[in-house]
Amino acid sequence: MRSMASVILFAALAVVPAKADPLPQKSDQVVQYQIAVSLDPAKKQLQGTERLTWRNPSTTDTVGELRFHLYLNAFKNTKTTFVKESGGQLRGDEMAENAWGWIDVTSLKTAAGADLKAGLTFIQPDDGNNDDQTVASVVLPEPVPPGGSITLDIVFTAQLPQVFARTGYKDDFFLVGQWFPKIGVYEPAGMRGQTQGGWNCHQFHANSEFYADYGSFRVEITIPSNYVMGATGVRTNQRTNPGGTTTYVYEQADVHDFAWTADPDYVVITAKFSATEDVSPAEYARIAKLLGRSLDEVKLSDVDITVLLQPDHRPQAQRHVDAAKAGLKWFGLWYGRYPYKTLTVVDPAPGGGGAGGMEYPTFITAGSSWLLNYWPFDKLHSAEAVTIHEFGHQFWYAMVGNNEFEEAWLDEGFNTYSTAKTMTAVFGRDRTMLEFLGISLGEWDVNRLSNSPTLKYNRILQNSWSYVPPGTYGFYSYQKPALVLGTLEGYIGEEMMARIMRTYHERWRFKHPRSEDFFALVNELTGQDFGWYFDQVVRGGDVLDYDISSATTRPVRADSGVFDGPGGRKTVSEEAAHKQTEDAVKAKTAQYETSVVVRRRGEVYFPVTVAFKFEGKPEVRMTWDGVARTNTFKFVRPEKLEWADVDPDRKVLLDVNWLNNGRRIEDDLKPSASWTSRWLFLVQNIVTTLGLF
């Protein structure tokens, strides 16, 4: 716990204008991939060749070993770390029987012809599971000097699994992700706080995604000519081959991954996001003012949108297009223009839902159902929410290259927060998820539903595979970080928060930040030390919960007893004092003594506002630093108290129970929280009891 002085200093927050960082136009390319791959749709196999050029990013280290991710080996058997941790399930999908996936490196040579295949060994840097083959190491015949580079020629065969965890096939539908030998990240000393240089190349865990260096891709993909395909980047060429196949060429720079899809049934929807037609001059002006940026700095670029839609989902085509445009617009305005020319949105085939809700650079997978074509399900905004969320990863995964193995919240949490803000901009705060027959539900409400007083045994800032039980990974990586950021915004204000998020993205676009970089930026722009907050809610695991413990208001009673005065000693009986008090109440001349006890039930402290409503008078608001366990507010006024409410504007989103925030005097039990707050909290507790979160 920080000192009271630091809390007072925080309360005296001084807003410091954000100094604009230049928006990077390109990355420092560490790696280049040239890949040629062909799909055998009957065998569900890939045959590929890969020319990989890697540059040693260190200015001091000589690197004599390379490490690679071979992600598809996670699906090889029941002994892999992924299957052991997941139990063969992920996001509600189960691994199909006898539908294994794997990848074999059949040849590995230097460009000069030196054969390295015999020296390729599997390693297990995270858990020592000798049966896991998702990370491989090769010792080089000659080390790569600082700033030097090496080119490798790789031949590989990959067996795709039946899709259940982001990648694979379902009948003739293919979503091909994590499919090629991919080099890890060499982190020199000083990068992400490293004290010495070394490889960061984690095994593929059930609760983890990815981390890679920026570079360029040129990928040739050969598939049957009757298939429709999409991929990361720009299609630069295509050619028809003998035997009924077509080769498509895609290229993209300044990205750190590449994925593609093929399906003969796709319906192709094309659209264009227009920087002049889809954003009004008034919106540009408003955002420029909010961010303290010039109009030039917030100007966006045109983007070609392709939606690969399942035939049964044709009525939802415009919804997907509109959601993609909303993402391009609001993420671009708030954080910086989308720098790529294309965006592809993939609608997975029936039975291929395990590939849905996933992100790759310039390429995302949505999530929908034929039910959303029809009333009343068309009133659900889930299709929009998934598309906007997965697009948002272009900013908090693709462009700001977080290490999702170690600090998933910097991607998933930042994106959940940004998605809620975007959905609010599109639909309104309380209608972002549902609006039907007078019932509405917002995404912030959905995020709060995941919270619970029992969720205090893990921390946001820990390795993604270390959550116990594993199912809590989602809360600590998605919902709680969003609530942390939303609570911070509620306290420091929309303008300051917008400038923090914009500057963070500008400063770390095409780079690899860590949590401390964000913490430092918050301190820099606000001019205050927020360590007390982040220590509690990101590094710590406790919960935040304030309530009105008691509230009483009663007439100030006339005095009774023996009193000495100028006229001598006088005795006032209790009966006489009581009558005098009653007469004052009837005459409406009485004073009322009010006492309200606000209590901190959780271990996390946070400054809060407390509102008091006295009869016939406007609200009175007072602030409390929230550090002590209780604080008693006392008043003597000619009005009775009607109610008291802690955090009346419901800005403290991390508070696990809004139901206890308010109390009315009439029955001294009834909270003043809205019916929506009560309903949400009751649902939250029912869901938590059933173990659904």
* Interval 425-468: pLDDT, tens: 998 877 656 666 566 677 888 889 899 999 999 999 999 999 99
Give the amino acid at 371.
Answer: L
Give the closest residue to 166 by CA, choosing from 310, 371, 363, 324.
363
Would the pLDDT of 17 be above 50?
no
Claim to verify: residue 511 and residue 658 sit in the same structural domain: no
Q: Which of 366-380, 484-498, 595-609 has the lowest mean pLDDT?
A: 366-380
Beta bridge partners of 593: 554, 636
The label of the residue with tokens 């304030």 reads 546
Within a domain: 324: yes
Claim to verify: residue 123 and residue 185 sit in the same structural domain: yes
Would the pLDDT of 691 be above 50?
no
SS3 191: helix
Would the pLDDT of 4 be above 50?
no
Percent of the chain with pLDDT over 70: 91
Taking the C-alpha atoms of residue 547 and residue 676, their distance in angstroms, rounded to an integer, is 17
The 3 state secondary structure assigned to 567-628 is: CEEEEECHHHHHHHHHHHHHCCCCCEEEEEEEEECCCCCCCEEEEEEECCCCCEEEEECCCC
Claim to verify: residue 291 and residue 257 sit in the same structural domain: no
Beta bridge partners of 234: 251
pLDDT in tens, 610-623: 999 999 999 999 99
Claim to verify: residue 258 and residue 319 sit in the same structural domain: no
Claim to verify: residue 243 and residue 310 sit in the same structural domain: no
Beta bridge partners of 252: 217
Average pLDDT over residues 175-182: 98
The model's confidence at residue 675, banded by pLDDT at 50, 70 and 90, is very low
Compute CA distances 684 → 289, 417, 475, 602, whole Å.
38, 19, 13, 18
Within a domain: 2: no
Picking from 505, 539, 573, the residue at the C-terminal end of a domain is 539
Would the pLDDT of 91 be above 80?
no
**Alpha helix (H) residue ranges in 164-232:** none
Beta bridge partners of 511: 400
Within a domain: 9: no
Q: Are 384 and 431 in contact (CB under 8 A)?
A: no
Tell me whether residue 681 is exposed, middle or buried, using C-beta atoms within 10 angstroms of its C-beta: 0 to 12, 13 to 18, 19 or more: buried
Phi and psi at residue 340, to the nearest 5°: -100, 160
Within a domain: 23: yes
Q: Are 550 and 597 in contact (CB under 8 A)?
A: yes
The 3 state secondary structure assigned to 375-440 is: CCHHHECHHHHHHHHHHHHHHHHHHECCCCCCCHHHCHHHHHHHHHHHHHHHHCHHHCCEEECCEE
Q: Are 598 and 633 in contact (CB under 8 A)?
A: yes
Query: What angle in degrees, to the nearest 10, is found between the helix axes of 412-427 and 317-335?
Result: 110
pLDDT in tens, 35-70: 999 999 999 999 999 999 999 999 999 999 999 999
The pLDDT mean for the chain works out to: 91
Within a domain: 46: yes
Does this model's pTM top 0.85? My answer is yes
Taking the C-alpha atoms of residue 119 and residue 141, their distance in angstroms, rounded to an integer, is 10
Counted domains in the chain: 4
Claim to verify: residue 79 and residue 225 sit in the same structural domain: yes
Q: What is the largest CA-CA distance in the chain?
A: 122
Q: Please give the pLDDT value at position 674.
A: 45
Within a domain: 273: yes
Claim to verify: residue 247 and residue 360 sit in the same structural domain: no
pLDDT in tens, 201-239: 999 999 999 999 999 999 999 999 999 999 999 999 999
Query: What angle in degrees, to the nearest 10, is found between the helix axes of 494-508 and 480-492?
Result: 120
Would the pLDDT of 678 be above 70?
no
Within a domain: 5: no
What is the DSSP track for 61-111? --EEEEEEE-GGGGGS-TTSHHHHHHTTEETTEEPPTT---EEEEEEEEET
Stretch (H or E) spanning 505:
helix 494-508
Claim to verify: residue 598 and residue 585 sit in the same structural domain: no
Q: CA angle at residue 117 from 113 to 122, to 5 degrees?
A: 150
CATH of the domain at 640: 2.60.40
Say which residue, 3 or 167, is predicted with more confidence.
167
What lies within 8 Å, CB to CB, of 142 at 6+ separation is none
Claim to verify: residue 153 and residue 207 sit in the same structural domain: yes
Claim to verify: residue 516 and residue 596 sit in the same structural domain: no
Question: Which residue range is the domain that position 434 belongs to?
Answer: 267-539
CATH of the domain at 397: 1.10.390.10
Claim to verify: residue 139 and residue 282 sit in the same structural domain: no
Within a domain: 652: yes
Claim to verify: residue 173 and residue 43 sit in the same structural domain: yes
SS3 8: helix
Taking the C-alpha atoms of residue 222 and residue 45, their distance in angstroms, rounded to an integer, is 12
